[in-house]
Amino acid sequence: MFELKGKKGLVVGIANQHSIAFACTQLLSSMGASVIASYANEKASNFVTPLQAILPDVTFTQCDVCCDKQLINLIELTQAKFGQIDFVIHSVAFAPLEDLRGGLLNSSREGLKLAMDVSCWSFVRLGRMAEPLLNPSSSLITMSYLGSERAVQNYNLMGPIKAALESSVRYMALELGEQGHRVNAVSPGPIKTRAASGLKDFDTLLERSTKKAPLKRDLSTRDVAGAVLYLVSDLSLAITGNTLYVDNGYHVVD
């Protein structure tokens, strides 16, 4: 049902083997897709390079999404290797720790600009640069969070940024829809990843989510990857401009 043989694409934002981007890469590859996966910098390289042994068919490369030259290099590598592609998975978020933990009112202009550039604008930029390579009915996917629409304690400046990201998804869906391309966001519940470790009292957030969610189960990166698999597959050809919650149903409770 989810055969992806012949599909090719990008996964941007692997930090380590526990990251959502890695789970997506691993699952898509196992279903037959050809994948180029990127990591941000040399520091991340220390954690990502060993993953080549786990996924020998995946091409790993460095790409700082804030650097236009590196984005150009990523697109050129993709074109040289694949020609055309069928999907782009954007799993990138960052804010300076002092701005993330200091509350929205105390966030700095520089910190907010950087967080917006990395976490939101990079998806728009990547979509624009990848557009010439997209096969008909391609799928572009990014990662959001419930803090985009609710004031979640300690999520702070990332809430407005994720709201901007989800709005960008809708406008990108409108603009790319004429070519048949789909653009969606996946909104996972709290999962222990490197990005989540920056949130103050994250364990409390995780415990509350697990306790109150209708499905009383732990959430994993594999769960998120499953939703991404669906959105990449041809079973989701009529779905675009949406935010798909993967949170055991937590978003429906107060």
**Catalytic one of 155, 230, 245, 250:** 155
The 3-class secondary structure across 91-104, one letter per residue, is CCCCCCHHHHHCCC
Residue 223 has, within 13 A of its CA and on its CB side, a CA count of 16
Examine the residue annotation and report whether 171 is marked as an active-site residue of this protein.
no
Among the listed residues 39, 145, 245, 250, the single catalytic one is: 145
Annotation marks residue 145 as catalytic: yes
Tell me, what DSSP letter sits at residue 220? -
Helix axis angle, 122-130 to 68-82, nearest 10°: 40
Quote the CA–CA distance of 142 and 132 in Å, as a whole number: 19
DSSP class per residue in 53-93: GT-TTSEEEE--TT-HHHHHHHHHHHHHHHSSEEEEEE---
Residues classed as catalytic: 145, 155
